């Protein structure tokens, strides 16, 4: 930023966000502003017509029935037209606001979908949900307050002041002394309430985050007896939110309506006093009674827009803070999408002395070198923290290697086209992710797959049989998180989803750790049927799943310490793999 460039404050960034979203609505904005101006002019016309009625007909006692009827009809037409114009501008500007916020919400959600996995390592789900929903909704209030209230009130204020200047410019100057006083009140209100507004938004986000976290882990909370502790913690945050909100409301109660109402009364007293002095023979020309009526009416109308503007500052501050938080999220760098054209063809994987660290200087993988041939079935085992999942994340291109080279089919993994790479690499996670949708939708996941492809994938995964037994087959709704299915059935759906794209490489992240022995047998049969057709890399906690693998890689402290088929590894005295197998067999025997 240059020295002469103004600093980018939250308000400026919020304005930039609003303008980007509303730019396609420029024509509607201009029409809405024109209608706002027309409505303000029509509203200002009422007291002028009242002034004419008093000075021309009421005080002179001139019974000009036709003329008075004309004034009355004119006033009614002006009021009726102003109402319809305000309806038109409200509908038009409301559409602008809703469509603009729709664009912002879609942009934020799409941006979150493209963020790198490293972002989600530290992100709190509840706060992210709050950004996408609550904060974007608060941005809508910024549109509404600026477009519907502040602009309306500012245009109304300008129209009233111009009309008052036309009637009596000296009295108009007296009335304008209201404006600096109001600005002073607004400034003081902002200084006192802005910290409380920011704190309130922050605490509300914490409440949302804890609520989402608690619902997600309800079984653990209740099983560990932690419900009371978390209830107390929630109450503390809620009390802090209440206190912060009270601070904001006290500033509102003292500085907005009461102070401005007092200014209104004071200004009425001054205008009436000036009228009295000029009527009593002062140096200035006396004021017509109709002008006094018009000014008394206008003072109330001048104060009301000022009150409305200041009453909106609390909402305006919250919306600016929300817009700043949305901007902060949008500023997060998206996952790099390489401009590459490489394709996965055979599914050969090669790693050359790769190292990887989530935190600089703290490597989790050290000097990993391996080659996996097309169609080979590789198992990966090791103690917790040995780097198994990190290696899988590198193969999924969620992270980049810190050092060394990782390639597929002789091409650096970064040189592969993103869409082609995702089509060619299937993932079966440890925790199956299912949508609250039908079986068909959960397998297709938005891809343009026909019934034949979906059915074939389900058959390859061993899921077709139980799906057909569901009451509506592939159209059966599974509920949130696949609540209607057993854990093993969920995992089979996840495997079918991975196979539906006809990948060349299939990655399984402890896909059998939570399923029963019978379902594990089905998974093993599915993997056996896939051998040779695609490259399979399976991280396994339950070692029986990868017993028949072509090779098993044993990781320890980020290094490959052993590799070979099951029988060969079992012959290594004191070997880590043999020890893991024996410990698991002992645990199974004790469990039996």
pLDDT digits (tens, 9 = 90+) for 296-340: 887 777 777 777 776 676 677 777 777 888 888 888 887 777 677
> Sorting pLDDT into bands at 50, 70 and 90, what band is 10?
low
Which contiguous run of DSSP H or E holds residue 189? Answer: helix 178-216
Percent of the chain having pLDDT more than 90? 21
Paired with 380 in beta bridges are: 539, 553
Inform me whether the pLDDT recorded for 284 exceeds 70: no
pLDDT tens-digit map of 468-513: 999 999 999 988 788 888 888 888 898 899 999 889 999 998 877 6
Name the CATH topology of 10-330: ABC transporter transmembrane region fold (1.20.1560)
pLDDT at residue 514, rounded to an integer: 65
List the single range of 61-70, 133-142, 230-239, 352-361 with lowest mean pLDDT: 61-70
Residue 224: predicted pLDDT: 65
Mean predicted confidence (pLDDT) in 561-569: 93
Contacts of residue 176, Cβ cutoff 8 Å, sequence gap at least 6: 161
* Strand pairing class (551-556; 559-564): antiparallel
pLDDT of residue 536: 93
What average pLDDT does the segment 423-451 reach? 88
The answer to whether the beta carbons of residues 141 and 319 sit under 8 Å apart is yes
Specify the pLDDT at position 409. Answer: 93
Other C-beta atoms within 10 Å of 164: how many?
26
Banded pLDDT at 256 (limits 50, 70, 90): low
User: pLDDT value at position 1?
Assistant: 43
Listed in sequence order, the residues at least 6 apart from 113 whose beta carbon sits closer than 8 Å to its beta carbon are: none
**Whole-prediction pTM:** 0.67
Inform me whether the pLDDT recorded for 254 exceeds 60.
Answer: yes
Q: What does the pLDDT read at residue 279?
A: 63
d(CA 419, CA 487): 30
Helix, strand, coil shares, percent, the chain, to 5: 65, 10, 25
Looking at residue 2, its pLDDT comes to 44
- pLDDT category, 38, cuts 50, 70, 90? confident
pLDDT above 70 as % of the chain: 89
Of the candidates 144, 137, 252, the residue with the CA atom closest to the CA atom of residue 190: 252
Least confident range of 55-64, 154-163, 497-506: 55-64
Confidence of residue 145 (pLDDT cuts 50, 70, 90): low
Lowest-pLDDT range of 158-162, 242-246, 505-509, 533-537: 158-162
Beta-bridged to residue 351, according to DSSP, are: 370, 406
Q: What is the mean pLDDT of residues 439-461?
A: 91
Q: In what order do the strands lie in the sheet with 403-408?
A: 365-372, 349-356, 403-408, 411-412
pLDDT computed for residue 257 by the predictor: 66
Task: Work out the mean pLDDT of the chain and round it to a whole number.
Answer: 81
> Domain ranges in the chain?
10-330, 349-591
Owner of token pair 């590894």 = 569
Q: For residue 443, is pLDDT > 90? A: yes
Residue 66 confidence class, pLDDT cut points 50, 70, 90: confident
Report the C-alpha gap between 76 and 106 in whole angstroms.
Answer: 45
Where b means 16+ CB within 10 Å and e means fewer, 137-148 reads ebbbbbbbbbbb
148 close to 430: Cβ distance less than 8 angstroms = no
Pick the CATH number of 349-591 from 3.40.50.300, 3.50.50.60, 3.60.150.10, 3.40.190.10: 3.40.50.300
pLDDT score recorded for residue 280: 64
* Residue 423, burial from CB neighbour count under 10 angstroms (0-12, 13-18, 19+): middle
Residue 562: the pLDDT is 93
Question: What is the DSSP code (8-state) at residue 514?
Answer: T
Mean of pLDDT values over 140-166: 77
Q: What angle do CA 384, 499, 109 make, to 5 degrees?
A: 75
The pLDDT, as a whole number, for residue 4 is: 46
Question: Which of 403, 399, 357, 366 has the alpha carbon at shortest distance from 557?
Answer: 366
Residue 154 CB partners (closer than 8 Å, separation 6+): 305, 309
Rounded to an integer, the average pLDDT of 46-61 is 72
What pLDDT does residue 591 have? 55
pLDDT class for 146, splitting at 50, 70, 90?
low
Q: Which residue has the higher pLDDT, 387 or 513?
A: 387
Average pLDDT over residues 353-380: 92
The strand pairing partners of 378, in sequence order, are 537, 551
């Amino acid at each position: 930023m240059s020295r002469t460039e103004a600093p980018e404050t939250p308000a400026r960034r919020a304005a930039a966000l609003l303008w980007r979203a509303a730019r396609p609505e420029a024509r509607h904005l201009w029409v809405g502003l024109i209608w706002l101006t027309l409505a303000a002019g029509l509203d200002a016309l009422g007291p002028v017509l009242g002034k004419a009625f008093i000075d021309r007909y009421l005080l002179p006692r001139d019974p000009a029935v036709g003329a008075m009827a004309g004034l009355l009809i004119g006033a009614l037409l002006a009021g009726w037209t102003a109402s319809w114009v305000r309806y038109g501008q409200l509908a038009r500007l409301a559409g602008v606001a809703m469509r603009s916020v729709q664009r912002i919400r879609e942009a934020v959600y799409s941006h979150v979908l493209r963020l790198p996995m490293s972002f989600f390592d530290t992100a709190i789900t509840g706060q992210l949900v709050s950004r996408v929903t609550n904060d974007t909704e608060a941005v809508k209030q910024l549109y509404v307050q600026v477009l519907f209230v502040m602009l309306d009130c500012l245009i109304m204020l300008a129209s009233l002041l111009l009309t008052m200047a036309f009637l009596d410019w000296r009295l108009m100057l007296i009335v304008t002394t209201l404006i600096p006083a109001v600005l002073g009140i607004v400034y003081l209100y902002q200084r006192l309430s802005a910290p409380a507004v920011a704190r309130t938004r922050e605490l509300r986000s914490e409440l949302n985050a804890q609520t989402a976290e608690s619902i997600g882990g309800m079984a653990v909370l209740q099983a560990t007896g932690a419900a009371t502790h978390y209830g107390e913690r929630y109450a503390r945050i809620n009390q802090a939110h209440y206190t912060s909100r009270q601070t904001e409301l006290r500033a509102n109660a003292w500085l907005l309506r009461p102070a401005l109402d007092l200014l209104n009364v004071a200004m009425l007293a001054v205008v009436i006093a000036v009228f009295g002095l000029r009527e009593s023979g002062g140096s200035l020309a006396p004021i017509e009674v109709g002008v006094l009526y018009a000014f008394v009416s206008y003072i109330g109308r001048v104060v009301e827009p000022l009150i409305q503007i200041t009453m909106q500052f609390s909402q305006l501050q919250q919306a600016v803070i929300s817009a700043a938080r949305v901007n902060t999220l949008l500023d997060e760098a998206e996952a790099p999408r390489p401009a590459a054209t490489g394709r996965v063809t055979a599914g050969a994987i090669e790693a050359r002395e790769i190292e990887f660290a989530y935190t600089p200087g703290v490597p989790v993988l050290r000097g990993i070198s391996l080659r996996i041939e097309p169609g080979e079935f590789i198992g990966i085992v090791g103690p917790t923290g040995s780097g198994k999942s990190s290696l899988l994340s590198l193969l999924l291109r969620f992270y980049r290697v810190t050092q060394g080279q990782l390639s597929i089919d002789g091409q650096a993994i970064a040189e592969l086209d993103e869409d082609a790479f995702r089509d060619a690499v299937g993932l079966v996670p440890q925790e199956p992710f299912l949508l609250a949708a039908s079986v068909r939708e959960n397998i297709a996941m938005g891809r343009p797959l026909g019934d034949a492809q979906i059915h074939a994938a389900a058959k390859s995964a061993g899921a077709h049989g139980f799906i057909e037994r569901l009451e509506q087959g592939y159209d059966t709704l599974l509920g949130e998180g696949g609540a209607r299915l057993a854990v093993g059935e969920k995992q089979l759906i996840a495997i079918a989803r991975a196979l539906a794209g006809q990948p060349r490489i299939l990655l399984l992240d402890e896909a059998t750790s939570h399923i029963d022995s019978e379902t594990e047998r089905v998974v093993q049969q599915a993997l056996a049927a896939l051998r040779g057709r695609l490259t399979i890399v399976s991280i396994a906690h339950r070692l029986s799943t990868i017993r028949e693998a072509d090779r098993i890689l044993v990781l320890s402290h980020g290094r490959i310490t052993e590799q070979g088929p099951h029988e060969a590894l079992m012959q290594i005295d004191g070997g880590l793999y043999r020890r893991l197998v024996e410990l698991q067999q002992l645990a199974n025997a004790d469990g039996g």
